[in-house]
Amino acid sequence: MTLGWFAQLKKVQYDSMRVGSERVSEYQGVFLQVKYEGMASEKDLERAEDPENGTTATESTAYNSDPDKAEGGIMAEGAIGEPDSDHEEVEEMDEGHLDDLTTASIRAARGKGAEESLQQVVTKTSVKSTKSRISRIATNLTSKSKKTRLAPSPLPISDLDKGIVGWESQDDPEMPLNFPETRKWLLISLLGAITFISPLASSMFAPGVLFMNETFNNTSTILSSLTVSIFVLGYVIGPLLLAVSFFPSMTTGHFTYNGQPLSEIYGRRFVLTGANVFFAVWQIGCALAPNLPSLIVFRFLAGIGGSGCLTIGGGVIADLFHPDRRGLATAVYSLGPLFGPVVGPICGGFIAQRIGWRWVFWILLIAGASVTIGIELFTRETNPRVLVHRKVKRLSKELNRTDLVSCYDTHGPAHSASHILINGMIRPLKMLFLSPIIFLLSLYMAVVYGLLYLLFTTITEVFISTYGWQPDICGLAYIGLGIGFFSGLLVVSKISDPTVVRMTKANNGVFEPEMRLPACIFFAFFIPISFFWYGWTADKDVHWIVPIIGLIPFGFGMMGIFIPIQTYTIDSFPSFAASGVAALTVSRSLFGAFLPLAGPSMYASLGLGWGNSVLGFIAIGLIPAPLLIYRYGGKIRKEYPVKL
């Protein structure tokens, strides 16, 4: 090839030929060096892409999700991404680069100086070569950057020869963990909708209390506060009836008994729909209440129904998602309990003043009934134990066999419905008072939740008396909290699951639930800021926008505490996750119901400045709680297990 190239160049002037030959030799060497470096980079990248494989006692190691697996076992072990079907074609293109360079340089030399033409040709060729190398590296990096997952635990499989009914395979589409992503997120979205409406009802009536007092001639500030907070007291009773469930152990792969009174017997869908209907029906009672005592009772009963979605939600998330996916699902699901109480007063203020306080409950009835109908029409049962029990009944009838049992009934004796009911009501209380971890987390969340409802019952009065706002626009003062909640949600949903995966890999593949808590340490510092900021600016009658902005840190910090603690509880007690969530719900609902009753007298004695400062000092004292649990929680959880 070199002799033919020089024969062609003899038609050009001697100087051009001499310069051109020197430049071609130089650029040929450059090109070969670039190609060699590209091949070396690919080899280095392939060596660097060897993932961390193998399992530990918790079976929490990185693996490629099913869509990334090679078909037919063609891909080598440790390979990432899809096979490079264009690899041979790219290599042929690289081998032809040198010939292309020679041909192009001859044509350019005939019309222009050899040096200039060769410079342009080689530059273009080098760019193409570099792009080819970069594209291959980018493809590999893109495949490598696909989100790493933790290895799932194996599912119990059917063995009809032994009379055991389970799942047909690890990819059984009937298993909720294997549901399509669209179906999973449809279920979470509908669950999130009713979980938004229930807490919405807890605070939506707050701006209408002034008008209710005129209707019933009430002058007691305690009774006025009780009409709002009594709804949250219903959240204490409901979880004791609905909370406890069967959950898969993510460390052993087995589903163990922990007795959910109603959803274990009838399924989550039935219980959720029943609770939602109960919630909606008592909105009619509230709207038609003839006196103040009846209104308080009806609000309490509505709160019991409204607790269903808050209690069942944790179980549904555990049914549908593996541990490394629960952070995002919990963040979406937690929108309701945090945003509902913020949006409620904004809507309630306009409704109460424009069309009457009773219409607050009629609108809640319409919204609750609509979502309940949607849940009943579009959701499916997710409790794996209930699904397998139904499968046992079907196969027993089809195969005419009476010896078939559920794979989940082989690990313990069957229990009567009454035993399940009693044990299920007691278990959340045992976790709350016998588990140091649950007690501390419940106390921390309860105090923060109580502070939130303390703000709910006082913000309206503050902006009416201090800033002269009308009741219909007082709800806009809650926008600061809403902005904080939304900002915190974005941050938590972004960092939760990736942090767990990264820390699990750094911990030699061992997943620990305490990996959920580092974010809490950061967010805890934002809670006290709002009380000092909001309290003193409102006390000194600073422009109204300043105290509203001062509420943003509280919303931001609360979201960063609420979501990780709830996810940590599910991960720490996977077999008793709903019991743990119930314990959290019971404790925070008690504080949310009764702590606001102390608000009016406290502010009357101390004023807005020092009254909120006291709450700020309490929040400061609680900051070390997540740090201590992060450092010592795992040791306490393993050395002092709770017998449930």
User: Tens of pLDDT along 261-309?
Assistant: 566 667 788 888 889 999 999 999 999 999 999 999 999 999 999 988 8
How far from the centroid of its chain's Cα atoms is residue 288's Cα?
38
What percentage of the chain carries pLDDT values higher than 70? 69
| Range 109-133 average pLDDT | 45
DSSP, collapsed to helix, strand or coil, labels residue 409 as coil
Q: Which residue has the higher pLDDT, 74 or 367?
A: 367
Q: Using CA atoms, how far apart are residues 607 and 411, in angstroms rounded to an integer?
A: 59
Q: Which residues of 240-251 are buried (b: 16+ CB within 10 A; e: fewer)?
A: bbbbbbbbbebe
Same domain assignment for residues 94 and 196 = no
Q: Residue 43 in contact with residue 497, Cβ under 8 Å?
A: no
Band the pLDDT of 551: cuts 50, 70, 90. very high
Band the pLDDT of 549: cuts 50, 70, 90. very high
Domain boundary among 98, 114, 146: 146
Provide the pLDDT for residue 587. Answer: 84
Provide the pLDDT for residue 640. Answer: 74
Alpha helices, DSSP H, located in 466-516: 471-474, 479-506
State which residues form the domain around 405.
161-639
Provide the pLDDT for residue 279. Answer: 94
Q: Using CA atoms, how far apart are residues 502 and 500, in angstroms rounded to an integer?
A: 6
| Range 474-498 average pLDDT | 85
Band the pLDDT of 418: cuts 50, 70, 90. low
Within a domain: 128: yes
Compute how many other C-beta atoms are within 10 angstroms of the C-beta atom of residue 121. Answer: 22
Residue 20 has pLDDT above 60, yes or no: no
Same domain assignment for residues 458 and 562 = yes
Q: Using CA atoms, how far apart are residues 379 and 193, in angstroms rounded to an integer?
A: 13
Closest C-alpha among 154, 118, 149, 89 to residue 17: 118
Same domain assignment for residues 102 and 245 = no
Provide the pLDDT for residue 528. Answer: 92
Q: Which residue has the higher pLDDT, 141 or 471?
A: 471
Say which CATH number the domain at 171 has: 1.20.1250.20
Same domain assignment for residues 326 and 276 = yes
At 385, which helix (H) or strand (E)? helix 384-399
Within a domain: 74: no
Q: Which residue has the tokens 């606001």?
A: 596
Within a domain: 432: yes
Listed range (128-132, 393-397, 499-503, 505-509) with the worst mean pLDDT: 128-132
Listed range (161-175, 230-244, 453-467, 500-514) with the worst mean pLDDT: 230-244
Rg (CA), the chain: 32
Print the SS3 string covering 192-233: HHHHHHHHHHHHHCHHHHHHHHHHHCCCCHHHHHHHHHHHHH
First to last CA, the chain: 83
Same domain assignment for residues 402 and 456 = yes
- Which of 41-50, 183-192, 305-314, 586-595 has the highest mean predicted lDDT (pLDDT)? 183-192
Same domain assignment for residues 627 and 499 = yes
Listed range (168-182, 246-260, 320-334) with the worst mean pLDDT: 246-260
For residue 248, the cross-strand partners are: 255
Residue 105 has pLDDT above 80, yes or no: no
| Range 316-324 average pLDDT | 82
Provide the pLDDT for residue 420. Answer: 61
Within a domain: 644: no
Closest C-alpha among 202, 253, 211 to residue 230: 202
Q: Using CA atoms, how far apart are residues 304 and 282, in angstroms rounded to an integer?
A: 10
Within a domain: 80: no
Within a domain: 70: no
Print the SS3 string covering 575-619: HHHHHHHHHHHHHHHHHHHHHHHHHHHHHHHHHHHHHHHHHHHHH
In single-letter form, the type of residue at position 510 comes to: V
Q: Using CA atoms, how far apart are residues 304 and 283, in angstroms rounded to an integer?
A: 12
Same domain assignment for residues 241 and 337 = yes
At 273, which helix (H) or strand (E)? helix 268-287
Q: Residue 437 in contact with residue 633, Cβ under 8 Å?
A: yes
Q: What letter would DSSP give residue 75?
A: S
What is the total count of domains within the chain? 2
Provide the pLDDT for residue 494. Answer: 83
Band the pLDDT of 252: cuts 50, 70, 90. very low
CA dihedral 232, 233, 237, 240 (to 10 degrees): 60
Q: Residue 603 in contact with residue 225, Cβ under 8 Å?
A: no
pTM recorded for the entire structure: 0.62
In single-letter form, the type of residue at position 549 comes to: I
| Range 426-443 average pLDDT | 81
Same domain assignment for residues 458 and 399 = yes
For residue 256, the cross-strand partners are: 247
Q: Which residues of 172-198 are buried (b: 16+ CB within 10 A; e: fewer)?
A: eeebbbbbeeeebbbbbebbbbbbbbb
Provide the pLDDT for residue 150. Answer: 64
User: Tens of pLDDT along 49-82?
Assistant: 343 333 333 333 333 334 343 333 333 333 333 3
Provide the pLDDT for residue 35. Answer: 42
Compute how many other C-beta atoms are within 10 angstroms of the C-beta atom of residue 546. Answer: 14
Same domain assignment for residues 218 and 311 = yes
Provide the pLDDT for residue 295. Answer: 94
Cα angle value 148/150/151 (rounded, 5°):
125
For residue 62, the cross-strand partners are: 150
Q: Which residue has the higher pLDDT, 474 or 91?
A: 474
Helices 599-621, 526-539: crossing angle, 10 deg rounding: 140
At 384, which helix (H) or strand (E)? helix 384-399
- Residue 245 phi/psi, 5-degree rounding, is -150, 175
How far from the centroid of its chain's Cα atoms is residue 593's Cα?
26
**Surface-to-core class of residue 68, CB atoms within 10 Å of its CB (0-12 exposed, 13-18 middle, 19+ buried):** middle
Band the pLDDT of 129: cuts 50, 70, 90. very low
Print the SS3 string covering 152-166: CCCCCECEHHHCEEC
The tokens describing 620, both together, are: 């400061």
Q: How far is CA 216 from CA 224, 226, 228, 291, 295, in A?
A: 11, 14, 15, 6, 10
Q: Using CA atoms, how far apart are residues 250 and 239, in angstroms rounded to an integer?
A: 24
Band the pLDDT of 553: cuts 50, 70, 90. very high
Q: Which residue has the higher pLDDT, 440 or 135?
A: 440
Band the pLDDT of 578: cuts 50, 70, 90. low
Within a domain: 79: no
Within a domain: 259: yes
Same domain assignment for residues 405 and 436 = yes
Band the pLDDT of 575: cuts 50, 70, 90. low
Provide the pLDDT for residue 451. Answer: 86
Q: Using CA atoms, how far apart are residues 333 and 184, in angstroms rounded to an integer?
A: 12
Provide the pLDDT for residue 416. Answer: 58
The tokens describing 55, both together, are: 């399992």
Provide the pLDDT for residue 57. Answer: 36
How far from the centroid of its chain's Cα atoms is residue 312's Cα?
16
Same domain assignment for residues 54 and 176 = no
Strands 164-165 and 405-406: parallel
Same domain assignment for residues 318 and 361 = yes
The tokens describing 206, both together, are: 């707050």
- Which of 495-499, 510-514, 542-546 has the highest mean predicted lDDT (pLDDT)? 542-546
**Average confidence score pLDDT of the chain:** 73
Q: Using CA atoms, how far apart are residues 118 and 68, in angstroms rounded to an integer?
A: 44
**Surface-to-core class of residue 256, CB atoms within 10 Å of its CB (0-12 exposed, 13-18 middle, 19+ buried):** middle
Strands 247-248 and 62-63: unpaired
